[in-house]
Chain A
């Protein structure tokens, strides 16, 4: 009854469609990101995108495309520094994301008046997803998923062993750079619903949950997407029913699903 009612609202329709697309996108990339221990990368890029959003708001640009461009820039810088300095990846990401976020905070201080869009980027809001956002999310998602599915064998191989993948002739550097860029774009696309602070959870939680329940890569991949869809859509509906912030509700639903899977997995192993 409530679900039928909420489906009549255009903002809710847009949020559910965006959520469904992001579920597929974030879970698919999250599978590879968690296997490559890149969870902190998503965290870093999401936080770093604050500077991009702040610059866009100050300059009067559309925040989402500008935040995407900024996130791609950050991803390329992380990739380049990882290969040209001796600092560990997490240290580099930590420096870049805090610096970019600090820049964002200072720039936001220069904007005048109340910034509802800024708050929606920080904590996520289903109310602010416009038709144009949906088109941007869908367009990038299609491009990324075409690349991801075409390269899945290569990406899986290099997630297992970069050395063996390189010997097999896989373009390791190119595919790694593309994965960084795809992950950066997907993270920013998820910011509207989940918020900067919570979007990395969707990269980590579905694959982490799926990993405890599956045995093969194929089932791990599919199960991650199914879990992401269930978590996002039920989280969005719950946030509407209980009038909770969408991002926080989705993440809490995801955490409950993860803990349930951990308990089931633990019980199965013991028995």
Chain B
């Protein structure tokens, strides 16, 4: 696991109760979610969720299975229509800033026999204004060898595919990178490398990163902020202060503890 460099000295998440914080006024908002309500077949999945995320933050949405984490991300991405509420990205509506968002899905379901090379796959996402050389640049940035570009997408290992998906998501230099359960199926070594890639993106390009994770212990190591969701917003803020034993109990039920990874 890489060394953790918490930036908890600059709180970047504001719930509706936290807007009064003075130090937030100077920060630009990367994402603002206000009074978001989402229902499927009259079943309320998210209820009145509000938070603000400042530019350059690494934040994690956490919560138990079925808590609405993926629904929250899907709504932010415009894949799910909210019943109520408003979402602003960089102060604008999604359709105005779609090109500034990178997305790594939870499970990239695709036909493994789909005849497409890694280069061709990455090129699908490349903005016309960007040179083709950007593909090589991003492949290097995620720590892959350029020889992978000629490989068939379906032949990649889980870890390689994860990096290729990140390379594709950052191809157009997004201002916000959204990842849904990105560490699923990756081993501990792969997970450490993955965390390093995200930290590098954040530090080098000031990319705002919002990821969904069920692994609270893992996200505690490197995120600036957590957004705790279980149908509604339960807590938000720097993990060390927001994730109190009481909040964890509210979130996951029963007695919950955080264990430090030894790696």
Residue in A164, A215, A220 whose beta carbon sits within 8 Å of that of B105 in the complex: A164
Interface-side segment among A114-122, A127-135, A154-162, A191-199: A154-162
Contact across chains for A160 and B114 when beta carbons are under 8 A apart? yes
Interface-side segment among A71-79, A165-173, A230-238, A254-262: A165-173
A149 to chain B minimum Cβ distance, whole angstroms, is 15
- Residues of A within 8 Å of B, CB-based: how many? 22
Enumerate chain B interface residues (CB-CB to A < 8 A). Answer: 77-79, 95, 98-99, 101, 103, 105, 108-111, 113-117, 120-121, 123-125, 152
Given A160-B110, A169-B99, A215–B117 Cβ distance below 8 Å? yes
Contact across chains for B79 and A217 when beta carbons are under 8 A apart? no
Contact across chains for A156 and B116 when beta carbons are under 8 A apart? yes
Given A161-B108, A168-B125, A169-B99, A211–B113 Cβ distance below 8 Å? yes
Contact across chains for B108 and A217 when beta carbons are under 8 A apart? no
Q: Does A83 contact B (CB under 8 A)?
A: no
Residue in A160, A168, A215 whose beta carbon sits within 8 Å of that of B98 in the complex: A168
Residue in A35, A164, A166, A211 whose beta carbon sits within 8 Å of that of B108 in the complex: A164
Q: How far is the CA of A167 from the CA of B168 in the complex (A)?
A: 12
Number of A-B contacts (CB under 8 A): 60
Q: How far is the CA of A166 from the CA of B78 in the complex (A)?
A: 8
Contact across chains for A218 and B120 when beta carbons are under 8 A apart? yes
Tell me which residues across on chain B come within 8 A of A216, comparing CB atoms.
115-117, 120, 152
Return the chain A residue nearest B172 by Cβ: A168
Residue in A153, A168, A217 whose beta carbon sits within 8 Å of that of B115 in the complex: A217
Return the chain B residue nearest A224 by Cβ: B115
A-B contact pairs, 21 of them (CB 8 A): A35-B114, A157-B125, A160-B116, A160-B124, A161-B105, A161-B109, A163-B79, A163-B105, A164-B103, A164-B105, A164-B108, A164-B125, A166-B77, A167-B78, A169-B95, A169-B98, A211-B115, A215-B115, A217-B114, A217-B117, A219-B115
Contact across chains for A167 and B110 when beta carbons are under 8 A apart? no
B180 to chain A minimum Cβ distance, whole angstroms, is 10
**Which chain A residues numbered 125 to 155 have a C-beta less than 8 Å away from chain B?**
153
Q: How far is the CA of A151 from the CA of B58 in the complex (A)?
A: 36
**Which chain A residues numbered 193 to 215 have a C-beta less than 8 Å away from chain B?**
210-211, 214-215
Q: How far is the CA of A215 from the CA of B120 in the complex (A)?
A: 11
Contact across chains for B103 and A167 when beta carbons are under 8 A apart? yes
Tell me which residues across on chain B come within 8 A of A214, comparing CB atoms.
115
